[in-house]
């Protein structure tokens, strides 16, 4: 049974129904220059929060057979500045600061004295490409323990010989696949790949895996997050 | 499908036209939010793709295609990622609200393509593309429309799943594995975008062909003088 109305009432029904769509106009806030940046920052922040919730300490990144490896010659060299910042490899030390009982300079030999881990893992660049590489080094977790780091602190930040800087959350720092990497493809790290020590973090995107490390700090506050993060990239970017 | 119908009497001419309430408020709201979200997701996605417009190796890199900046959103990779990772939540939330509403209200029957729609597909194709006779309309959506919309919803779900696999190839490694790994997930994500673009193109053409009353129905819910019988 069809009910009846007249054209005037029908128009007012239609107007009311149309008005119910006004929430869509809320998206227009993204077009307002003053608000856009703040909204996108909040959106990215929400994504980062969701990322950190998705991160599971015990969940390992997929590992691969040697036959799956991208040949070393085709492993991209992605420096932000120079391929070789001219590190004096003989005099090199990693300076530990912040919330650690044994602050100070650590030599490569001390890092290499920790259990050596090798892993074939996928390296994913924020740009979208990926390669499977073979990495060797000490677990960052073991190193932090050796330095008496307060692992209840929130972040581990690093600085590099080329003025690059980065930081990661403590959960990721303690992940068993997070390495202070000094070998690739069973050879000492070459200069272009970050000699003598770089980060290898299969649970993070490439720009987090800083090269040519010079210092490391355990901290609860980050005056600056990372070279790319401070320009607008995700601060967590876990894979 | 019980569609709410009304007889509208024109106060000037006394003419009586039927009108049906075709699109509930939630569906309309989701439709328009989703339209904006898709625009942002595709625009920013194209900008993200510009950073590595390839599906092969990084070395040597073989770029597939480039397009003018006008067809990309965000200005640079970091800006595009901000848009993409913000609107993905709006896109997902809208999709969930839409699907939830359709299922619990029973309104999905209007749009879901089911086996009994199969025989009606070919006559519609013949009508649209080969000048065949127009099959009589019996409900709000004809079988070909149902097929298109059901596919589009499926593509929407797949776009989210492939996107999540690209975003979280480690934490959601099972999802990436289902798609053949991170590398393939990225390709699927890209191909699904083109499929959605193809749907949008066809959808817009049909909106133009079906005229004003049909377009208004997605704004107010009410379609005046529908093609199908109401009672």
Q: What is the CATH number of the domain that holds B138?
A: 1.20.950.20
Rounded Cα gap, residues B60 and B54, in angstroms: 11
A2/B171 CB distance under 8 A: no
- Residue burial B131-143, b: 16+ Cβ < 10 Å; e: rest: eeeeeeeebbbbb
* pLDDT score for B2: 46
Surface of A (12-31) touching B: CB under 8 A: 13-15, 17-18, 20-21, 23-24, 27, 30
**Nearest CA-CA distance, residue A229 and chain B, Å:** 9
Task: Give per-residue pLDDT as tens, A150-159.
Answer: 999 999 999 9
Q: Is residue B6 part of a domain?
A: no
**Is the CB of residue A164 less than 8 Å from the CB of residue A231?**
no
List of residues 6+ apart from B173 with CB closer than 8 A? A59, A61, A62
What is the C-alpha to C-alpha distance for residues B6 and B222, in angstroms, rounded to an integer? 9
Do the Cβ atoms of A24 and B10 come within 8 Å?
Answer: no
Q: How far apart are CA B174 and CA B165, in angstroms?
A: 9
Task: Count Cβ–Cβ pairs < 8 Å, chain A vs chain B.
Answer: 154
Distance CA B60, CA B68 (A): 24
Q: How far apart are CA A200 and CA B187, in angstroms?
A: 26
C-alpha pair distances (Å), A199 with each of A35, A142, A190: 36, 14, 14
Residue in B220, B223, B229, B231 to test binding to A, most A beta-carbons within 10 Å: B220
pTM: 0.92
The residues that bridge with A98 in the sheet, in sequence order, are A218
What's the domain range around B95? 25-220
Return residues 66-105 of A near B (CB < 8 Å).
70, 73-76
Number of domain units in chain B:
1
Output the pLDDT for position B226. 84
More confident residue, B102 or B131: B102
Backbone angles phi, psi at B138, to 5 degrees: -115, -20
Q: In chain A, pLDDT over 70 holds for what percent of residues? A: 98
| pLDDT computed for residue B193 by the predictor | 96
Q: Is residue B225 part of a domain?
A: no
pLDDT band at B133 (very low <50, low <70, confident <90, very high): confident
In this structure, CATH architecture of domain A60-231 = Alpha-Beta Complex (3.90)
Residue A127 binned pLDDT confidence (cut-offs 50, 70, 90):
very high
Q: What is the mean pLDDT of chain B?
A: 90
Q: What is the ipTM of this complex?
A: 0.91
The beta strands (E) that lie in chain B are given as 4-9, 16-21, 222-224
More confident residue, B109 or A189: A189
Q: Is B127 exposed, middle or buried (0-12, 13-18, 19+ CB in 10 A)?
A: middle
CB A129 within 8 A of CB A76: yes
Cβ neighbours, 10 Å, residue B230:
15
C-alpha pair distances (Å), B58 with each of A93, A127, B48, B72: 33, 10, 15, 22
B11 found inside a domain: no
Which tens digits make up the pLDDT trace of A87-98? 888 899 999 999
A70 CB neighbours in chain B (<8 A) are 57
Give dist(CA A128, CA A206) in Å, integer.
10
Max mean pLDDT range (B18-22, B32-36, B111-115)? B32-36
Q: Which residues contact A235 (CB under 8 A, 6 or more apart)?
A: A48, A167, A225, A226, A229
Tell me how crowded residue A54 is: count the other CB atoms within 10 A of its CB. 17
């Amino acid at each position: 049974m069809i009910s009846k109305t007249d054209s005037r009432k029908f128009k007012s029904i239609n107007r009311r129904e149309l008005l119910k769509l006004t929430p869509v106009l809320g998206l227009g806030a993204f077009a307002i220059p003053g608000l856009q940046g703040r909204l996108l920052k909040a959106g990215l922040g929400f994504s980062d929060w969701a990322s950190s919730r998705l991160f599971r300490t015990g969940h390992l990144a997929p590992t691969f057979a040697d036959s799956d490896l991208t040949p070393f010659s085709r492993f991209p060299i992605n420096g932000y500045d120079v391929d070789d910042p001219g590190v004096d490899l003989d005099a090199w030390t990693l300076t530990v600061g912040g919330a650690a009982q044994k602050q100070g300079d650590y030599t490569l030999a001390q890092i290499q004295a920790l259990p050596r881990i090798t892993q074939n893992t996928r390296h994913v660049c924020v740009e979208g490409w990926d390669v499977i590489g073979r990495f060797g080094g000490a677990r960052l977790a073991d190193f932090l323990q050796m330095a008496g780091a307060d692992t209840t602190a929130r972040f581990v930040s690093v600085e590099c010989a080329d003025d690059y800087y980065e930081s990661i959350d403590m959960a990721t720092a303690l992940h068993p696949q997070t390495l202070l990497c000094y070998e690739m493809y069973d050879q000492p790290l070459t200069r272009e790949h970050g000699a003598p020590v770089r980060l290898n973090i299969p649970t993070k995107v490439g720009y987090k895996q800083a090269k040519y490390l010079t210092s490391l700090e355990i901290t609860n506050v980050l005056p600056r997050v990372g070279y790319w993060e401070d320009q607008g990239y995700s601060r967590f970017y876990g894979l | 499908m019980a569609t709410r119908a009304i007889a509208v009497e024109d106060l000037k001419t006394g003419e009586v036209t039927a009108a049906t309430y075709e699109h509930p408020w939630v569906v309309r709201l989701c439709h328009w939010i989703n339209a904006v979200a898709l625009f942002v997701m595709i625009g920013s996605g194209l900008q993200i793709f510009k950073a590595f417009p390839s599906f092969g190796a990084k070395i040597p890199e073989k770029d597939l295609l480039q397009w003018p900046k006008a067809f990309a959103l965000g200005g640079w990779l970091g800006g595009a990622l901000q848009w993409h990772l913000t609107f993905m939540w709006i896109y997902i939330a809208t999709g969930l609200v839409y699907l939830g509403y359709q299922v619990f209200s029973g309104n999905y029957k209007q749009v879901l393509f089911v086996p009994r729609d199969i025989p009606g597909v070919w006559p519609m194709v013949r009508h649209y593309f080969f000048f065949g006779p127009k099959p009589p309309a019996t409900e709000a959506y004809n079988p070909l429309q149902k097929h298109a919309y059901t596919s589009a919803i499926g593509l929407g779900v797949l776009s989210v799943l492939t996107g999540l696999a690209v975003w979280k190839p480690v934490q959601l490694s099972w999802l990436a594995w289902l798609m053949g790994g991170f590398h393939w997930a990225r390709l699927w994500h890209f191909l699904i975008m083109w499929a959605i673009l193809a749907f949008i193109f066809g959808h817009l053409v049909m909106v133009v062909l079906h005229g004003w009353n049909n377009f208004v129905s997605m704004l107010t819910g009410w379609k005046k003088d529908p093609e199908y019988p109401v009672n």
